[in-house]
A and B are shown apart, each in its own frame.
Chain A
Amino acid sequence: MGKLELGIYLALPVVAGFLLQGNDYALTILAFMLIYGVLAMATTICTGHAGQVTLAQAGFFGIGAYAAVLVTLDLDLPFVFGFIASLVVSGAVGYALGVPILRVKGHFLGLITLAFTQVVYEVALHWESLTGGFNGLFGMTKPVLPIPGIEPLYSFILILTAFWFAVLLAADNLVHSRYGRAMHMLKVTEQGAQACGINVSRYKSDAFALSAALCGGAGAFYGHFIGYIGPDSFTIDVSIAAIAMAIVGGIGDLRGAILGSVLLTFLNEPLRNHPLYQPVMYGAVILLALIVLPEGIVPSVLRIARPRPPA
């Protein structure tokens, strides 16, 4: 992505948030778009770019949220320490999980990561001394900036935007590097990757751990934004939403993750009071995207818009 394009992406939430000050409902939706945007970008890196289908987003989202909240609540440290803890703990767990399972050939990762998300849910439910069990943890407050003249909620959006944009920038840099190129080769041809001297299992587990850390960071923001976390905040539905967003927007392209998170957060809004329709919507949307618009919206549009160079 060019500097101008990146600048526009940075400006969008900053300006939109500024204009929406006073409308807490709209700002809340914007915050969700950014948080889910990070989850969708993490999915794009691991699944879209490196080809490893994962359903662990919710698990790492949860681990990051608990890690961060425990640091700010129990240790009484500022948010930034909780945030760093969320990245480190999720990334470390992701690495520890990824190294063994990614060594195994075949497409086992998906179901194993589904089981992992399930286990994180149960640990959160049963390890009451740490997680507060079913009642969860509450009492944390969102980080704000002491800038006079702007609303606290908007200043939170600014901090969140900084994280969101850092993820976008990092992911974009990664994709266009030797490192990212190696990851992408895993998706397309493991044989070809090996022939180029790429250690397949190492790059797989790196991609997985990176996306785990990013999901964890998103969890830190989520917990402190909502002010409450419990096991039900981190069910498999979170992973499904992240995957749906990445796929609908176009899982091969980071812009797709952004567009997908914006679109589906909007689409989800009227369904919030009808939770029974949510899974049907997500299932149908993913299937529709995969079959009708296989590449997702962004790459399909780009393909039409970009004239083919002469042969």
Chain B
Amino acid sequence: MILSIDAISKSFGGVQALDGVTFDVSEGTIFGLIGPNGAGKTTTFNMISGMLRPDSGEVRFGGKRLDKLSPDRRAGLSIARTFQHVQLMPGETVIENVMAGAHLRGRSGMMGAVLRLPRQRREELAIRQLATEALTLVGLAKLASREAGELAYGQQRLIELARALAMQPKLLLLDEPAAGLNDAETEALGVLIRRIRETGVTILLVEHAMTLVMGVSDRIAVLDFGRKIAEGSPDEIRRDQDVIAAYLGVPDDDDA
């Protein structure tokens, strides 16, 4: 198990947002985490990425306890993430944004940067190379020198994805990557996510859009009111009575 979520709970001002949620993600798979609004998906996500700490329970990554580490330390363990609302440098070029993702590939410090020492220049080239590869994978290589803020929203989400890939992550956390995308873009994203998995990256996908999750996930967990109500393959989830009840009346392709 590359990622183990073990009985995590969290409450906000008396409201129990998560109640003893447990699941495991095995290496090289795509794990989907779904649930209606307010089910605790984002809370779970934030506890894996480090934005929140659980009140109780453990998050383990490759056997190592994560729950006390800051978000940047988690990134140092090769856990990459994207955001629900894009967190880019809009005034910088696309490639600069993606290069930021390869930050941890470099070692040279302030002096190296200020004096442009040879080692720093070699690192910079390697970082640029990684960023270009990541951009090629998401299909944005042609836009590398454009200003990130000028691009369409869907493209900005892809820049973020490329930035995460430039980290060469072992685990990639995607926070509602399809939010705000149209059907064609969502479909292309599904193809892309599968292709990323083929490079050996484990993916945790928190998503509202059911078609995307059902289409790409190897395994799915369903949350409702802060509890896990089901876990299994997409087919099992589709047939699960509890899941059907929880989603009754909710259109299964809601991308709000």
Contacts and interface: CB of A to CB of B under 8 A. Distances in A.
Contacts of B103: 178, 181-182, 196-198
A206 interface: yes
A145 B164 CA distance: 53
A206 B110 contact: yes
Interface stretch (B6-14, B57-65, B70-78, B219-227): B70-78
A198 B76 CA distance: 9
A188 B89 CA distance: 6
A206 B109 CA distance: 10
Interface stretch (B29-37, B90-98, B231-239): B90-98
A177 B163 contact: no
Nearest to A197: B75
Nearest to B107: A178
A293 interface: no
A173 B83 contact: no
A174 interface: yes
B92 A184 contact: yes
Interface in B194-245: none
B113 A191 contact: no
B127 A178 contact: yes
A194 B71 contact: yes
A300 interface: no
B114 A174 contact: yes
A195 B106 CA distance: 16
Most A CB contacts (10 A, CB to CB) among B116, B123, B150 go to B116
Contacts of A210: 110
Interface in A187-220: 188-189, 191-200, 206, 210
A195 B89 contact: no
B114 A173 contact: yes
A167 to B, nearest CB: 10
A261 to B, nearest CB: 21
A252 interface: yes
Interface residues of B, number: 43
Nearest to B51: A191
Contact of A197 (B76, B115, B116, B120): B76
Nearest to B101: A196
Contacts of B124: 177-178
Contacts of B75: 194-198
B91 A252 contact: yes
Given A178-B99, A189-B87, A197-B103, A309 B113 contact: no
Contact of B87 (A170, A178, A192): A192
B23 to A, nearest CB: 22
A174 B99 contact: no
A185 interface: yes
Contacts of A199: 72
A200 B50 CA distance: 14
B129 interface: no
A309 B142 CA distance: 12
Nearest to A170: B114
Contacts of A108: none
A179 B71 contact: no
B146 A200 contact: no
A126 B123 CA distance: 49
Nearest to A188: B89
Contact of A188 (B71, B90, B112): B90
B83 A178 contact: no
B113 A179 contact: yes
Contacts of A185: 89, 100
A191 B72 contact: no
A263 to B, nearest CB: 23
Q: Which of A173, A195, A200 has the most chain B CB within a 10 Å cutoff?
A: A195
B145 interface: yes
Interface in B120-178: 120, 123-124, 127, 145-146, 150, 163-164, 167
A173 B114 CA distance: 5
22 contacts: A174-B113, A177-B120, A177-B124, A178-B99, A178-B106, A178-B113, A178-B123, A179-B113, A185-B89, A191-B87, A194-B70, A194-B72, A195-B49, A195-B87, A196-B75, A196-B163, A197-B72, A197-B75, A198-B100, A199-B72, A210-B110, A309-B146
Top-4 shortest CB links A-B = A192-B87, A197-B75, A177-B113, A179-B113
Interface of A: 170, 173-174, 177-182, 184-185, 188-189, 191-200, 206, 210, 252, 308-309
